[in-house]
Amino acid sequence: MTAAIEFRKVTRSFGSVRAVDDVTLDVAAGEFFSMLGPSGSGKTTCLRLIAGFELPNSGHILLDGVDVSDVPPYDRDVNTVFQDYALFPHMSVLENVEYGLKVRHVAAEERHKRAAEMLALVKLSDFGERRPNQLSGGQRQRVALGRALINRPKVLLLDEPLGALDLKLREAMQIELKALQRELGITFVFVTHDQGVALSMSDRVAVFDRGRIVQVDTPRGLYSRPRNSFVAEFVGGANVLSAKLASSLLGLATPVAVRPEQMRILPAGASGEAGWVACPGTVADSQYHGATLRVQVRTSDGQLLTVARPESSEGDDSVRTGAAVQVAWPRTSVVELETERG
């Protein structure tokens, strides 16, 4: 089966900056695929390359096996939900949704029918006559979604579509989007800097750093087997132990990652359990997060480790700032990482 989207050694530079640097990538048809990375990592440029708003300086982009590297956006079977929604302010909601059909010369009757169906799908049937500026953020998002889906694209691109919504709405939209994708069977490419959103919604996630893809994996794979310290820290919020610390504690030559919830704090003098690694340090800070308490411990060579532990109702003196403690974790929880490129 041909991939829905294929990048072959794609590079896109702006001046001297390589926004997308030699990226090779396959997205399977019907997949919910996320592009995750901090701002400026090249994920949005990748999305724009798929849409056709940017053309690659070198390399090839294939949609459904066809090379579209030089094809303008209006000839690509791909639609986009924009970060700012980009609804046409001078058109009603219905006209916005119809737009894709209108410019493709679909007869008015058919157009109205399909637009009405689409409005029903995004639960805006009663809002067809309104103007975009008369809608709430969540409703605008649905209009943008409906407008992008009306042409029945093979691929739907979503550029941080949840960024402008408040937490509750965001969670509701997340569930709805996922349900919609399952129902329509369209390939979704979802750009986000929010690792929580990416992990919870995606079939696979590509992690971007400085224009390159560091790792492509399932959410579980990314979380449990991060390839390097960037992925470990950005996706899992993991503690990355330098190669030096790792070799003195574990006898390993590479940096390693240990997730905060797998670490424990022990009293300074306690002897470790079998199969556990312990490292002395002092408590630098702690934050209360409701269900968990996150404690930062500074090791003797200055590295800061974060420990997350379930919050117990009885207060605990051992995590006072400045207290001498040990941080311990099971040897099996250690993930060896690749040494990162400069």
Which lies closer to other proteins via its Cβ, residue 88 or residue 268? 88
Spatial distance between the Cα atoms of 30 and 27, rounded to a whole number of angstroms: 9
Nearest to 63 by CA among 7, 147, 145, 1: 7
Nearest to 241 by CA among 342, 339, 341: 339
Q: Does 74 bind other proteins (CB under 8 A)?
A: yes
Q: Does 253 bind other proteins (CB under 8 A)?
A: no
Spatial distance between the Cα atoms of 207 and 197, rounded to a whole number of angstroms: 13
Spatial distance between the Cα atoms of 334 and 293, rounded to a whole number of angstroms: 21
Q: Does 174 bind other proteins (CB under 8 A)?
A: no
| 119 neighbors 152 (Cβ within 8 angstroms) | no
CB of 50 to other proteins, least distance (A): 11
Which lies closer to other proteins via its Cβ, residue 82 or residue 276? 82
Of these, 30, 40, 59, 73, which contacts other proteins (CB under 8 A)? 73
Binding piece for other proteins, criterion CB under 8 A, among 32-40, 147-155, 207-215, 218-226: 147-155
Which lies closer to other proteins via its Cβ, residue 91 or residue 278? 91
Spatial distance between the Cα atoms of 62 and 128, rounded to a whole number of angstroms: 36
| 207 neighbors 34 (Cβ within 8 angstroms) | no
Which lies closer to other proteins via its Cβ, residue 74 or residue 288? 74
Binding piece for other proteins, criterion CB under 8 A, among 27-35, 146-154, 169-177, 324-332: 146-154
Listed in sequence order, the residues at least 6 apart from 176 whose beta carbon sits closer than 8 Å to its beta carbon are none
- Token digits of residue 83: 């970060």
Q: Does 52 bind other proteins (CB under 8 A)?
A: yes
| Dmax (CA) of the chain | 80
Listed in sequence order, the residues at least 6 apart from 18 whose beta carbon sits closer than 8 Å to its beta carbon are 11, 12, 211
Of these, 9, 57, 70, 84, which contacts other proteins (CB under 8 A)? 84
Spatial distance between the Cα atoms of 303 and 296, rounded to a whole number of angstroms: 10
CB of 82 to other proteins, least distance (A): 5
Q: How many residues bind other proteins (CB under 8 A)?
A: 26
Of these, 20, 46, 51, 61, which contacts other proteins (CB under 8 A)? 51
Spatial distance between the Cα atoms of 176 and 181, rounded to a whole number of angstroms: 9
Which lies closer to other proteins via its Cβ, residue 99 or residue 329? 99
Which lies closer to other proteins via its Cβ, residue 103 or residue 324? 103
CB of 244 to other proteins, least distance (A): 48
Which lies closer to other proteins via its Cβ, residue 104 or residue 331? 104
Which lies closer to other proteins via its Cβ, residue 87 or residue 335? 87
Determine the 3-state secondary structure of 301 from DSSP.
coil
Q: Does 276 bind other proteins (CB under 8 A)?
A: no
CB of 158 to other proteins, least distance (A): 12
Query: Mask of contacts with other proteins, 88-127, x by CB under 8 A?
Result: xxx--------xx-xxx-----------------------
| 298 neighbors 282 (Cβ within 8 angstroms) | yes
| 232 neighbors 337 (Cβ within 8 angstroms) | yes
Of these, 12, 114, 147, 170, which contacts other proteins (CB under 8 A)? 147
For residue 255, count CB atoms less than 10 angstroms from its CB and return exposed for 0-12, middle for 13-18, buried for 19 or more: buried
Q: Does 79 bind other proteins (CB under 8 A)?
A: yes
C-alpha dihedral, 216 to 218 to 178 to 136, nearest 10°: -50
Q: Does 138 bind other proteins (CB under 8 A)?
A: no
Binding residues (CB under 8 A) for other proteins: these are 51-53, 72-74, 78-80, 82-84, 86-90, 99-100, 102-104, 147-148, 150-151
